Amino acid sequence: MRYRQAAEYLNPRVSGAQTVLTSEVGVFGFYFEGPVIDAVGLCTPASLRFFPPSRDDTFDHEGNYRTEASNFTPTPMVMALRPDYLVNSLVFSRNLLREDSPFLEEYVRQHELPPIWGEPLVIFRRRDARAASAVSGRRANASIVTVSELEGEQVDPFHPELYLDQLPREARQILLAPADRLP
């Protein structure tokens, strides 16, 4: 329910080319009308490059250790992929809120929804992301950056390179980029 509310909040506020990164793609990806980056890597294999996270990224803004097994969003992932928006429960993004985090320089808290997993669901916007009213060309359909749902194909999730010509341009750029040159 909360992720649906987040998608419905963002749909009229973002352009079709703007990306949203989230740790829980399911409901959000179904209702959001734009490209979604899956922070966990199930739908966006490029995200897997950032796991396991570095030890210094496994602490939250209060200095509490967060296990590497938790479903949080690694700071280097956000800084490398530069999504226009990030939608997550604070359970998955407290590490981004540390005082020394570069995330705080690049992103602002735009909207907050009631708790999910015991923490508010928060929408962060990249400071230089333009609002939909300033950008034309909204997409009519959602586009999760993935190789797992290509129409009419038996997809091998371990070899996404076999399907590159069928992926959206943004997905090809992320999958083909060397780790130090991700968009």
Length of the chain: 183
pLDDT of residue 77: 94
In this structure, is residue 114 part of a structural domain?
A: yes
In this structure, is residue 183 part of a structural domain?
A: no
Question: Residue 18: which pLDDT band, with cuts at 50, 70 and 90?
Answer: very high
What backbone phi and psi angles, to 5 degrees, belong to 102? -65, -20
Which residues are CB-neighbours of 1 under 8 A, at least 6 positions away? 27
In this structure, is residue 162 part of a structural domain?
A: yes
- Over residues 24-50, the mean pLDDT reads 91
In this structure, is residue 180 part of a structural domain?
A: no
In this structure, is residue 33 part of a structural domain?
A: yes
Is the pLDDT confidence value at 178 over 60?
A: no
Q: Look at the chain and report how many structural domains it folds into.
A: 1
Is the pLDDT confidence value at 113 over 60?
A: yes
Q: What is the pLDDT of residues 73-90, one digit of tens each?
A: 999 999 999 999 999 998
- Over residues 89-114, the mean pLDDT reads 92
Range of the domain at 60: 2-175
Between 66 and 36, whose confidence is greater? 36
- Over residues 97-103, the mean pLDDT reads 90
Q: What is the pLDDT of residues 145-159, one digit of tens each?
A: 443 333 344 444 444
Separation between Cα atoms, residue 55 and residue 72, nearest integer Å: 13
In this structure, is residue 104 part of a structural domain?
A: yes
In this structure, is residue 181 part of a structural domain?
A: no
Between 178 and 29, whose confidence is greater? 29
In this structure, is residue 36 part of a structural domain?
A: yes
